[in-house]
Amino acid sequence: MTPLAMLERLVAFNTESHRSNLELIAFVEAWLTQLGVASVHIPDATGEKAALFASIGPAQDGGVLLSGHTDVVPVAGQAWTSDPWRLRVADGRAYGRGAVDMKGFVAIVLALVPEMLAARLATPIHILLSYDEEVSCLGVVDAVGRMGVDLPRPGVAIVGEPTGMDVVTAHKSVVSLTTRITGKEGHSSQPAHGANAVMAAAELIHWLARRQEQFATAGDPTGLFDPPCSTLQVGAIHGGTARNIIARDCSFLWEFRGLPGHSHRDVMDELAAFAETDVLPRMRLGAPEASIDTICDVAVPHLAPKPGSAAEQLALRLAGRNHTTTVSFATEAGHFQNGGVATVVCGPGSIDQAHQADEFITLAELENGTAFVRRLVQALGV
């Protein structure tokens, strides 16, 4: 099966992150079994989703892991000009949900398994397909935890997110947080008899905005990232009942995107200290039970640059590049790095085409990715 034909099969599976990916995983398992390749099914806690791990070549640690996620973002509300679940090829492009992010890379890897087998690899190539990358990046965690236990531990991981085949050695963390404020209801004409959670939320959000200004002033000492600083932003707020009722409850959703080495826990602690010393004392004058709590919903670790790593050297050689780069989006790569595997991000296509109507990968980009994996097979063959 060619990479394009494999991509057509993969796009046909609706694997939006809120849906199961098991039909796609079953298809891949059957494809690998047909080729004589065993695979390990790694279900999530619900049993409704699963990751898949397979190895080609010697059954040993080391080698190269090729990793891609199977889930895609929703199509609802987007003005597609063709069926997003049916690959359409026109004008040198292949259109479909997930075509570039990132079923294109996955299709290349799966289509080239017969060539991996024929090469009689001296060093193994491992394949990991994950789930939930688009919502949490947690779909690889169980597999990473098993590497070196009952799964081989790769020496190098290449995460095939769309980078135009540039070799990415660093990205920021991304952390999703929720802050909940509980005050006390009352008549708006008697503010001292209650505690207004919405107004308290405004103070906390203003603090975050000032902290963002401080991040911008501090900048990025490495000069690697754009924007050149850690960032904070509040994306949604919900609270109150009516304009003449003191708001008892309010919550807001915010995120932190941190430079490597800058922890979201520092920001959480600083916000909690501000709440405890400045906001809550005034709220508790009218409502001793008032509270402010922040929880971390999802934390995707950063990918830290490791100049000269085995992953960097290999990917640069395979991609024909002489320099590395960084990206502003987060990936699963930090989980592999934290698991002790040298990791880079490098894959076909452009992130500019992802997450939108008429998502596409060019046929030229698909061929570039295919050539990259073929060079890897040749490099590891006998």
Long-range contacts, 146-152 (Cβ 8 Å, 24+): 146/42, 147/339, 147/341, 148/61, 148/340, 151/40, 151/53, 152/55, 152/59, 152/60, 152/61, 152/62, 152/63, 152/124, 152/126
**Residue for token digits 């779909």?**
139
Determine the Cα angle at 300 with ends 251 and 165, to 5°: 135
- Residue 21 has φ and ψ, to the nearest 5°, of -110, 10
220 is catalytic: no
Spatial contact of 27 and 110, defined as CB atoms under 8 Å apart: no
Spatial contact of 325 and 167, defined as CB atoms under 8 Å apart: yes
Inter-axis angle of helices 264-274 and 197-218, nearest 10: 140
| Prior bond of 199 cis (ω within 30°) | no
Determine the Cα angle at 185 with ends 182 and 186, to 5°: 155
In this structure, the number of other CB atoms found within 10 A of the CB of residue 90 comes to 9
Catalytic residue among 8, 101, 132, 133: 133
Altogether, the residues listed in the chain come to a count of: 382
166 is catalytic: no
DSSP label of 97:
T
Inter-axis angle of helices 363-380 and 310-319, nearest 10: 120
At residue 168, the 3 state secondary structure works out as: strand
Catalytic residue among 71, 101, 161, 365: 71
The identity of residue 379, as a single letter, is: A
CA separation for the pair 164, 285 (Å, rounded): 57
The two tokens of residue 37 are 């390749």
Active site (catalytic) residues:
71, 133
